[in-house]
Chains A and B, each alone.
Chain A
C-alpha cells in the first residue's frame, strides 16, 4: 500500500540535495588550515598579506652555471611565461625609485665618519685621477658624492648575475616569477601548479617552489585522504549494516536518513561559517555512526513494529550527547565550533527521524540469533572505578598539551625541502614574513626603518624610503657639516689637478624638501602597500630567531599560521578545560537523573574510557583534537552508560550496544588510517574509547536480569 509516511524520508532527502546545490553549500568546504582559525583581526590581516604579490612568487632554479644550464633555464622561462597569470620578474631597478634615491641620497645613506674626519680633498682627487687613467675600461665617479663622505647601506646579497642572468652564487641559475594580482583562487593556483609540473617533469636538476604549491599539494593530499577514508568507512558500515539488519528497506531508509543528516548539517553550517573545514565533513560521517545507535535501540526493542510509544533511554542518551556538544561549542576555536554545530544538527535530525518517523514507516524485526555469548562478567563496577581513578592519577602528571601545529597539519616533507633549499640559498639568514602596520604612510616607513636598523639583514622594501622624523634628524646632522666649504675646495683642487672646470658642479647639492608620500607614489616605486581599515600595511622578512623580540613591537604582526595557531591554542587551553569540565558535570548529572539505582555502572562507562585515554599521556602529547575527542567519547559512552544502567535493560540492549560499538568503531576507528594528523588524532582517541567500552561490556558484572 502506498503510504505517504514511506516517502517522507526520501522527499526530505531530495529537498536537502536541491537546497545544498541551490545554495552552493559544498563550496563552503575548504581544505585550508586557516579555515579553522578563529575570526580575528589577525586572520583578516593574513588574508590581506596573501594579497601581496611578494607572498606569491614562483622560484625556478637549474643546477649548474654552465652554458647548458643557461639554455635550459631560458627555455623553461619561455614556457613558464606562456602560463596564464605568470610574468617573469625583471632584474632591473625601478627608474622612479632610482631617481628618488638620487634625490634623497644623503638622507638614505649613512655618513662615513672616518672619511669626513680625515678628509683630504687633494689626496682623494689624486686617487680618482689615478683610477681614471689606469682602469682597464672606465672609472665611474659618484658625481653627487665624489669624496665618499656617504656610505651606501648595501648588505651582502646571496644573489648575483652571470651572463646577464640571475644566479644563486656558485650553484645554479635562478628565475623568479610573479603572479598577477587576479590570481587568488585555489582553482587558479591548481592550473598554474599543473602547468608548471608538466613543464619541469622529473628533471632532478630543476627545482621549483612557491608558497601557492602548499595550497595545491596539501589540498590534494587532504582531499585524497578524506575520499579514501570516507569510501573505506562507508564500505565497512554498509557491510556491517547488511550483516546486522538483514532488512533492505530499513537499510536504505537508514542510509537516506544519515545522508540527509549530513546534508542538513552542511546546509545550515554553511550559513553560520564562511568556510567549513573538510575535517568537519569527515567527522560528520563518523558522528552519523553515533546517530545510528538511536535506530538500533528502537529497532532491536521492536519500536518500529509495535506501538511502544516513547523510548526514554534513547532520548536521554541523545540529549546528553547533544548537550555535551552544545557546551563544547562555546570553546572559542572555530574547528571545535564547526564540529560541535555540525554534530548537534546531524544528531538531532537523525534522532527525530529514528524516534518519530520510523515507527510510522514501520519495519518488522528480523529474527536475530539468540546465541548467548558466555563472557567473563564478574568484575564489580567499584573495582573498575578504583582502577580508573588510579590510572588517571598516575597519568595526569605526564599530561602535556601540545600547541604545535604539525600535530594537526599535513607534513608535506618534499615541498618543505624545496622551500628550505630556496630559503637557504636566497637569504643570508633564516627569515620569516611579517606584516608591518602604520597609521599613515609616513608612520609605516618610520616603523619599517626602526626594524631595518635593528635587524640589518632583514628584507623590508619600504625601509629604503625616508620618513619625516628620520628626514628632520638627518637634516639637523647635515647642517653641522660645512658642505659649501668642501665644495669650494673640491672645485679649486680639481682644477689644479687638471679636471674640467665644471666637472664637480653636481657635488653635494643637498635637498631640504621634505618627501611627501601618496599611495600612488609608493606604487610607482614598485613597493607594495595596502590600505586596511584606518592603517597602511606592508611586508617584511625578519630573522626567524628574533621572532619573540620583534613581536614586542605593536606594529609588527607575525603572520605565520603556526604562530597564530599556537597563540590561539594557548589562549583557549583554559577555556577548553573549563568547558570540558562543565560537559563532564553535565554528563554526571544526566547519568544520575536517568540511572539513579545503577549509577555506579553508568559512571564506570564514563570514567574507564577517560582513564584509558588519559593514560596515553605516557606515549603522546595531547593536541586540541585529542582533548575535544576525549569529551566527545565521554558524551558517546554516556549513551552506553544510560542504556546499561537503565531499569529496562535486557539482552536486546546488549545486542544493540554491541552493534553500536561496531558501527562507531567503523565510523571513527577508520580515521586512525588517515595520513592527516587531525583525523588520526580523532581516530586514535575514538578507538581507545571504544576499546574501553568493549572491555567493560565483557568484564563488568551484569545487572539483575542476567543473574
Chain B
C-alpha cells in the first residue's frame, strides 16, 4: 500500500514539474492581425513559471505574489493589482492541477463533451467574454480566452 502511495506521489511530482511547451496565438482586433509566441510552462506544486522563448521575460507565480523576471530586472507584482495575471494563473492551475474551486469565484463552469466553457461573473465580465478549453488526460488541447475588446488568445500544448 505504502509503495503505491509513494509511487503515485513521485509520479505526481514528476508530472507537475515537467516542462510543458506551448504555442500562443494572440489576435489583436485593432490591428486585425495575430501575434505568435512560443514558451514553456513549468508547473510545480507551489510555483508556476511561464517563459517565452523569443523574449527574455518570464513570469513566476508564487503563493504570495508574481515575479516578473527579465534580463535586466526582477519585479514583484501583487495578485490584487494584476487581475489578468491572477486569472491566468488560476486557469492554468485549474487545468493542470484540477483546482476548480479557485475558478468558481470568477466563473460559471459549463462542461460539455468536447470542451469546457468558463462564463465570467459580473466582476470580470467587462474584461473577458468567455474562456474555452479542452484537455485530454494531462494534455491541453487548447485554451482560448475571448476578451471584450474582440481580442482573443489561443494557447495549445506542443
Chain A residues in the interface with B (C-beta under 8 A): 90-92, 128-129, 132-133, 136-138, 140-141, 160-165, 167, 498-500, 503
Task: Specify the main secondary structure of chain A where it touches its partner.
Answer: loop
A residues near B26, Cβ cutoff 8 Å = 137-138
Contacts of B84 in A (CB 8 A): 136-138
B12-20, B108-116, B147-155: which lies at the interface: B147-155
Give A505 to B124 CA distance when docked, in angstroms.
26
Interface residues of B in 1-51 (CB under 8 A from A): 26, 28-33, 35
- Interface pair B80/A138, CB less than 8 Å apart: no
A91 touches B123 (CB 8 A): yes
Q: Which of B85, B122, B145 contacts A92 (CB 8 A)?
A: B122
Shortest CB distance B81–A (Å):
7
Could you list which residues of chain B lie within 8 angstroms of chain A, going by C-beta atoms?
A: 26, 28-33, 35, 59, 79-81, 83-86, 88, 102, 105-106, 121-124, 127, 145, 147, 149, 151, 153
Known contacts A164-B105, A164-B123; A138/B151 CB under 8 A: yes
Complex: how many Å from CA A160 to CA B83? 11
B123, A141: Cβ atoms under 8 Å? no
Q: In whole angstroms, how far apart are the Cα atoms of A513 and B127 in the complex? A: 30
A132 close to B79 (CB less than 8 A)? no
Partner of A137, one of B33, B88, B123: B88
30 contacts between A and B (CB under 8 A): A90-B122, A91-B123, A92-B123, A128-B30, A132-B31, A136-B59, A137-B85, A137-B88, A137-B145, A137-B147, A137-B153, A138-B84, A138-B147, A138-B149, A140-B127, A140-B149, A141-B30, A161-B83, A162-B79, A163-B102, A164-B105, A164-B123, A164-B124, A165-B105, A167-B80, A498-B31, A498-B33, A500-B30, A500-B32, A503-B30
Given contacts A129-B31, A138-B147, 8 further A-B contacts (CB under 8 A): A132-B28, A138-B28, A138-B149, A138-B151, A141-B30, A163-B105, A498-B31, A498-B33
> What B residues does A138 contact at CB under 8 A?
26, 28, 84, 147, 149, 151, 153
CA distance A92 to B121 in the complex (A): 10
B31 touching A499 by the CB < 8 A rule? yes
How many angstroms between the C-alpha atoms of A133 and B24 in the bound complex?
A: 13
Determine if B80 and A133 form an interchain contact, defined as CB atoms under 8 angstroms apart.
Answer: no
Chain A minimum-CB-distance residue to B87 = A137
Contact across chains for B30 and A499 when beta carbons are under 8 A apart: yes
A133 touches B149 (CB 8 A): no
Q: Which residues of A contact B147 (CB under 8 A)?
A: 137-138
Residues of A near B33 (CB, < 8 A) are 498
Shortest distance between the CB of A498 and any CB in chain B (Å): 6
Bound: A167/B29 CA distance, A: 34
Residues B106 and A136 in contact, CB atoms below 8 Å apart: no
Q: Which of B31, B59, B86 contacts A500 (CB 8 A)?
A: B31
CB atoms of B123 and A500 under 8 A apart? no
* Contact (A136, B30) CB under 8 Å given A92-B123, A162-B80: no
> For residue A132, which residues in chain B have a CB less than 8 angstroms away from its CB?
28, 30-31
Please, which residues of chain A bring their CB within 8 A of the CB of B122?
90, 92
Name the CB-closest residue of A to B147: A138
* Smallest CB gap from A167: residue in B: B80
Q: Write out the residue numbers on chain B whose beta carbons fall within 8 Å of the beta carbon of A129.
A: 31
When C-beta atoms are compared, the residue in chain B nearest to A146 turns out to be B30
Specify which of A136, A161, A498 is in contact with B80 (CB 8 Å cutoff): A161
Instruction: Write out the residue numbers on chain B whose beta carbons fall within 8 Å of the beta carbon of A133.
Output: 28, 31, 35
> Which of B28, B88, B145 has the largest count of A CB atoms less than 10 A from its CB?
B28
CB closest chain-B residue, reference A164: B105
For the complex, give the distance between the alpha carbons of A531 and B86 in Å.
45
Write the nearest CB–CB distance from A97 to chain B, whole angstroms.
14
Q: A141's closest neighbor in chain B, by CB?
A: B30
For the complex, what is the distance from the CA of A132 to the CA of B153, rounded to whole Å? 12
A604 to chain B, nearest CB (A): 75
Q: Within the assembled complex, what's the spacing in Å between the Cα atoms of A133 and B105? A: 30
Residues of B within 8 Å of A128, CB to CB, are 30
Chain A residues, Cβ within 8 Å of B85: 136-137
- Tell me the nearest residue of chain B to A169, going by C-beta: B80
CB distance from A78 to the nearest CB of B (A): 14
Q: How close is B128's CB to chain A, nearest CB, in angstroms?
A: 9
A160 in contact with B81 given A129-B31, A136-B59, A500-B29 (CB within 8 Å): yes
Distance, CA A541 to CA B43, complexed state (A): 48
A129 to B149, CA, bound (A): 15
A157 shortest CB reach to chain B, Å = 11
Please name all residues of chain A whose beta carbon is closer than 8 Å to the beta carbon of B32 when the two chains form the complex: 500
Query: In the bound complex, what is the Cα–Cα distance between A141 and B149 (angstroms)?
Result: 8
Closest B residue, CB atoms, query A91: B123
Q: How far is the CA of A503 from the CA of B147 in the complex (A)?
A: 16
Q: Nearest chain-A residue to B27 (Cβ)?
A: A138
Q: Residue of B at shortest CB range from A504?
A: B30
Q: Output the nearest chain B residue to A133 by Cβ-Cβ distance.
A: B35
Interfacial chain B residues near A163, Cβ < 8 Å: 79, 86, 102, 105
Residues of A within 8 A of B80 (CB): 160-162, 167
